[in-house]
């Protein structure tokens, strides 16, 4: 029976399963939950019961519902940031690589400077002033995390440009646009896929981190916010059903992306090593 390559790696299989499960929870949250997570009509700080399997929070909201909606937000945040910043990385990296000349120098200089700036500082600063909502925050984080990827795609484009089939296509009269669409981008798919997974992992982690520092949109339900609130009441012994579930769910999500990410990094690394033996 045919078995996709990725499923032959135990780690990647576990990772993929985790991602799919959490994705299902997130996607079907509205259909599974029997409480609106924003509904604060229940008694606050209840212990788990058959009505509230994970109890209620300090203002009487059902924690299980919060948890599932939280997974939804965290996943949305992670995947959106990843997709947008990946797009920016590819555009800038490939464009700089293929254009050469002044465009290349300017773009790569900007990238280098952006790498030097600690992006967390800018995020906090901008967030402190703007108090952004979920979508603005997605945009801000995306705009501040393209630079590392841009370097990678730039370097890859340069090395692909050296390949024989690119010169051959140029010989046949192919322009930059054609080369980019027909050769470069398809060649970069594996790296893009790995990049997407790794960024998604990072963005999901950042969501929780920002929530804990206190700059995530407080009107949403996210795993980080849930943990942030739970931590304040941890001393009351509520951590078992309040803090632990979002923590574990978050850890499993990040673990899922990590495991799949390792798989891609390893396979790409192998492919590259077989293409060129040099290390640098």
Residues contributing to the site for other proteins (CB under 8 A): 11, 109, 112-122, 124-126, 128-129, 148, 202, 205-206, 208-209, 212-215, 227, 231, 234-235, 237, 239, 243-244, 247, 250-252, 254-259, 262, 269, 273, 278-280
Residue 179 CB, shortest distance to other proteins, in Å, is 27
Task: Please report, for residues 196, 227, 240, the alpha-carbon distance to residue 27 in angstroms, rounded to integers and kept in the order given.
Answer: 20, 21, 25
Q: Which is nearer to other proteins, 14 or 87 (CB)?
A: 14
Is 185 or 244 the residue whose CB approaches other proteins more closely?
Answer: 244
Q: In angstroms, what is the minimal distance from the CB of 187 to other proteins?
A: 22
Give the distance from CA 275 to its chain's centroid: 29
| Backbone dihedral angles phi then psi of residue 258, each to the nearest 5 degrees | -60, -45
Q: Pick the closer one to other proteins by CB: 65 or 111.
A: 111
Rounded to the nearest 5 degrees, what angle is found at the Cα of 79, between the Cα atoms of 24 and 23? 5
Rounded distance between C-alpha atoms, residue 46 and residue 52, angstroms: 8
| Minimum distance of other proteins from residue 121's CB (angstroms) | 5
Instruction: Give min distance, CB of 31 to other proteins, in A.
Output: 28
The residue (of 52 and 151) whose beta carbon lies closer to other proteins is 151
């Amino acid at each position: 029976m045919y078995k996709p390559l990725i499923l032959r790696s135990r780690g990647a299989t576990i990772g993929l399963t985790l991602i799919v499960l959490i994705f299902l929870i997130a996607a079907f949250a509205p259909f599974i939950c029997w409480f609106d997570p924003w509904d604060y009509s229940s008694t606050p700080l209840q212990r788990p019961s058959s009505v509230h399997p994970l109890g209620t929070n300090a203002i009487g909201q059902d924690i299980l519902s919060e948890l599932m909606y939280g997974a939804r937000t965290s996943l949305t945040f992670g995947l959106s940031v990843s997709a947008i910043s990946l797009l920016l990385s590819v555009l800038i990296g490939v464009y700089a690589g293929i254009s050469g000349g002044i465009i290349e120098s300017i773009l790569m200089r900007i990238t280098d400077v952006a790498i030097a700036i600690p992006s967390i500082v800018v995020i906090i600063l901008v967030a402190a002033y703007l108090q952004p909502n979920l979508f603005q925050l997605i945009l801000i984080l995306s705009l501040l995390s393209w630079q590392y990827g841009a370097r990678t795609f730039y370097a890859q484009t340069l090395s692909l440009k050296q390949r024989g089939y690119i010169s051959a296509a140029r010989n046949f009269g192919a322009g930059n646009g054609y080369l980019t669409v027909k050769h470069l981008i398809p060649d970069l798919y594996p790296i893009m896929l790995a990049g997407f997974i790794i960024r998604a992992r990072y963005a999901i982690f950042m969501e929780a981190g920002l929530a804990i520092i206190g700059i995530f949109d407080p009107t949403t339900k996210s795993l980080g916010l849930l943990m942030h609130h739970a931590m304040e009441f941890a001393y009351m012994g509520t951590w078992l059903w309040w803090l632990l579930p979002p923590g574990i769910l978050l850890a499993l999500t990040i673990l899922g992306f990590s495991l799949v990410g390792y798989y891609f990094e390893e396979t790409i690394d192998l492919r590259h090593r077989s293409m060129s033996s040099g290390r640098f």
